[in-house]
Amino acid sequence: MNSAGYKTRQKAVIEDLLIKNADRHLTADDITDMLKEGGNDVGRTTVYRTLERLVTDNKVRRFSMPQGDSACYQYISAGETCHEHFHLKCNYCGALLHIECEQMSLLSEHIAKHHGFAVDNLKTVLYGVCQKCAGERK
Amino acid sequence: MNSAGYKTRQKAVIEDLLIKNADRHLTADDITDMLKEGGNDVGRTTVYRTLERLVTDNKVRRFSMPQGDSACYQYISAGETCHEHFHLKCNYCGALLHIECEQMSLLSEHIAKHHGFAVDNLKTVLYGVCQKCAGERK
DNA sequence: TTGCGTGCAAAGGTTTTGCATGGCA
DNA sequence: TGCCATGCAAAACCTTTGCACGCAA
């Protein structure tokens, strides 16, 4: 599960920052800046490469934004292993909703059975419009 | 509905190509290349600007892909009212599958009704593992 | 003639890669 | 020592913008 590798200051401070902000979604740039402000300077390249590793290791979730905007990353908390758990992200206010829903399991099952594809709920984010924003835009 | 404007060869051949490939997803690059091969050369800039207009006019649907990949465009056929169309992306080989599936509509309906969130299938990409990669990794 | 449309070139942004150096084990 | 990790600079990538010219109406 963990890609072996050496222990370094950079890896430690990046993972640490993500854990401390597990309720937020941060861009690679946010992370670079926050570390610099904290006196824990890490090169931009290293931030990207570390995030890539963490995503591969399933420790971090990556949110793909529409082109032009930068991707967001968020630490995957320990308890989040249940497969009925998934995420909704509002395109307008950016709110991230965590939902437990058996309907999602039904979809995953259906896709596995009929389309031969194993959906990873931890990595998947459904984009749309939340109730609040839908109201405001009427 | 239609942003007025002049009639030009470029607009015509681009819309024509999209109509003839209404069952496929084309990137701006695909379109540029296909037109060039067909002897109907159109500048890349014009392709982008024309697609932008078509999307604004609701004649074409734009699929935002994860960063790094280019956006896809597809002509919206006359009778097409429901959006049961969505995307699966393999974490390993990067394959992008386009799927028509009513189960997805059921999920969207459920989420709208029970969670007050309007899922945008056009922007949503489900991540996971495709059949081929699942086989190779066993 | 008027002003939208076109397309080259260059800029814009995020992310990746080449390569020499640094540092863990 | 051996190999992974780092980080600067440069490249790659898709897309947008500046600007002069072309062309529809």
Residue A107's CATH number: 3.30.1490.190
Q: Is a pLDDT exceeding 70 seen at residue A134?
A: yes
CB contacts, 8 Å: A64 with chain B: 65-67, 125
Q: Residue B89: what pLDDT?
A: 82
In a domain, A81, yes or no: no
Q: Are residues A92 and A131 in the same domain?
A: yes
**Domain stop point among A75, A101, A120:** A75
Q: Could you tell me if B132 and B68 lie in one domain?
A: no
Co-location of A46 and A102 in the same domain:
no
A61: its two tokens = 């979730």
Interface test with A, best of B121, B123, B129, B132 (most A CBs within 10 A): B123
Could you tell me how many CB contacts below 8 A there are between chain A and chain B?
A: 109
- Contact (CB, 8 A) for B123 and B110: no
Domain range for B13: 3-75
Q: What is the pLDDT, as a whole number, of residue A41?
A: 96
Domain count, chain B: 2
Q: Which of B74, B67, B98 is nearest to B85 (CA)?
A: B98
Highest-confidence range of A7-16, A53-62, A119-128, by mean pLDDT? A7-16
Smallest CA-to-CA distance from A28 within A20, A38, A17, A39 is with: A17
Confidence band of B133 (pLDDT split at 50, 70, 90): confident
Residue A41 approaches strand C within 7 Å at CB: no
The answer to whether strand D lies under 7 Å from the CB of residue B56 is no
- Residue B69 CB lies within 7 Å of the nucleic strand D: yes
pLDDT band at B6 (very low <50, low <70, confident <90, very high): very high
Answer yes or no: do A61 and A27 share one domain.
Answer: yes
Tell me, in Å, how far CA of B127 is from C1' of C4?
Answer: 43
Does pLDDT of B28 surpass 90? Answer: yes
Same domain, yes or no: A107 and A126? yes
In a domain, B81, yes or no: no
Structure tokens at A6: 């050496």
* Residues A90 and A123 occupy one common structural domain: yes
Local structure of B4: helix, strand or coil:
coil
Q: Same domain for A71 and A94? A: no
**Residue A10's domain is classified under what CATH number?**
1.10.10.10
pLDDT in tens, A16-59: 999 999 988 899 999 999 999 999 999 999 999 999 999 999 89
Report the chain B residue with the minimal C-alpha distance to residue A66: B64
Q: Kindly state whether residues A69 and A47 are assigned to the same domain.
A: yes
User: Is strand D within 7 Å of residue A132 (CB)?
Assistant: no
Q: What is the pLDDT of residues B59-102, one digit of tens each?
A: 998 887 777 788 889 898 766 654 567 888 887 777 778 887 88
pLDDT exceeding 90 applies to what percent of chain B?
41
- Asked if residue A81 lies in contact with residue A103, where contact means CB atoms within 8 angstroms, the answer is no
Residue of A122 and B87 predicted with greater confidence: B87
Looking at the structure, do residues B101 and B44 belong to the same domain, yes or no?
no
Residue B71 and residue B91 in one domain: no
Is B20 a member of any domain?
yes
Domain boundary among A41, A56, A75: A75
pLDDT of residue A91: 77
Let me know if residue A99 belongs to a domain: yes
- Overall average pLDDT of the A7-12 stretch: 97
CA B98 – CA A82 distance, rounded (Å): 26
Question: Is A125 within the bounds of a domain?
Answer: yes
Q: What percent of chain B has pLDDT over 70?
A: 90
pLDDT digits over A64-111, tens only? Answer: 777 778 898 999 877 665 556 678 888 777 777 878 788 888 888 999
Q: Quick one: average pLDDT of A133-137? A: 74
User: B100-104, long-range: CB within 8 Å, 24+ apart, which pairs?
Assistant: B101/A110, B101/A111, B101/A114, B101/A115, B103/A106, B103/A107, B103/A110, B103/A111, B104/A107
Q: Are residues B18 and B46 in the same domain?
A: yes
Please indicate, yes or no, if residue A38 is contained in any of the structural domains: yes
Q: Do B96 and B70 share a structural domain?
A: no
Mean pLDDT of chain B: 85
- Tell me if A117 and B130 make a contact (CB, 8 A cut-off): yes
Is A80 domain-assigned? Answer: no
pLDDT exceeds cutoff 80 at A6: yes
Is B55 in a helix, a strand, or coil? helix
Residue B30 has pLDDT above 90, yes or no: yes
Residues B110-131 pLDDT 10s? 999 999 999 887 778 888 888 8
